[in-house]
Amino acid sequence: MIKLELKELTKIFERRVIFRNISLIKDAPGLFGVAGPNGSGKSTLVKVITGLLSPTSGSVAFSAGGREFSPGEAINHFGFASPYLVLYDEFSARENIEFSMKIRGLQFDEAYVDELLQHFSLLKRKNDPVRAYSSGMKQRLKVISAFAHKPELVILDEPTANLDSEGKARVYELAKIAAAEKLVIFATNEEDELAMCNEVLNINDYKLNNNTGKGAKV
């Protein structure tokens, strides 16, 4: 079971405080929400958690069974989908996923990926180049790649951006199943997505100069 620990995590861009002193421990399983209005710092927080941005101060740690993962190890234990991640246009869905598995040093479990593609009605298109995908199809593929290596922690930034109601339902279905044994994080401002979460962190509770984390709905 994976455990995510944030210690006094602070991110400041130039002089704008995005969040300050976020400290929390999250154990799998569960569905955890990060909320806040546009521009509040949801994407920034998940980028810091995944190591794509470094925090101004504080730290992020992943552990399982009391043993902490090194940053290099951690990358294979979480999956991440975000509007900021761009797929390779000239490669097909299959090739994109195979590449991200192989470069992680993992086996490419094609049968499982096919199941996921089937779940999102993309199986028939899996050999088409991503260039030929619609924005909703790309979002489906991003969610698939977040799950493809069976990570214990799945972080979805705007999980249902560009998706139709069927696509949304598919994401929720997958997230709920995963949240029963793993840790899933939604960064979103959709009311119904936040309602699905066991707990919600509101970024706006972490803006004050000397906040101690109190007053937060965690």
Ligand X SMILES: Nc1ncnc2c1ncn2[C@@H]1O[C@H](COP(=O)(O)OP(=O)(O)OP(=O)(O)O)[C@@H](O)[C@H]1O
Residues at the interface with another protein (CB under 8 A): 50-54, 72, 75, 80, 82, 84-91, 99-100, 102-105
Which positions ≥6 away from 38 have C-beta within 8 Å? 189
For residues 189 to 208, the per-residue mask of contacts with ligand X, x marking binding by CB under 6 A and - elsewhere, is x-------------------
- For residues 100 and 175, the answer to whether their CB atoms sit within 8 Å is no
Stretch that binds Mg ion, among 38-46, 69-77, 132-140, 206-214 (CB under 5 A): 38-46
Q: Inter-axis angle of helices 110-119 and 165-179, to 10 degrees? A: 130
Instruction: At 153, list the tokens.
Output: 């922690």
Please give the residues from 16 up to 35 whose contact with ligand X meets the rule CB under 6 A: 18
43 binds Mg ion (CB under 5 A): yes
The amino acid occupying position 136 is G
- For residues 79 and 200, which CB has a smaller minimum distance to another protein in the complex? 79
- For residues 156 and 186, the answer to whether their CB atoms sit within 8 Å is yes
- For residues 113 and 184, which CB has a smaller minimum distance to Mg ion in the complex? 184
Q: Inter-axis angle of helices 135-147 and 165-179, to 10 degrees? A: 10
Distances (CA, A) of 24 to 85, 99, 150, 200: 26, 33, 24, 12
Indicate which of ligand X, Mg ion, another protein, none lies near residue 215 (CB less than 5 to 8 Å, by partner kind): none
Stretch that binds ligand X, among 37-45, 74-82, 99-107, 172-180 (CB under 6 A): 37-45
Q: List interacting residues with Mg ion (CB under 5 A).
A: 43
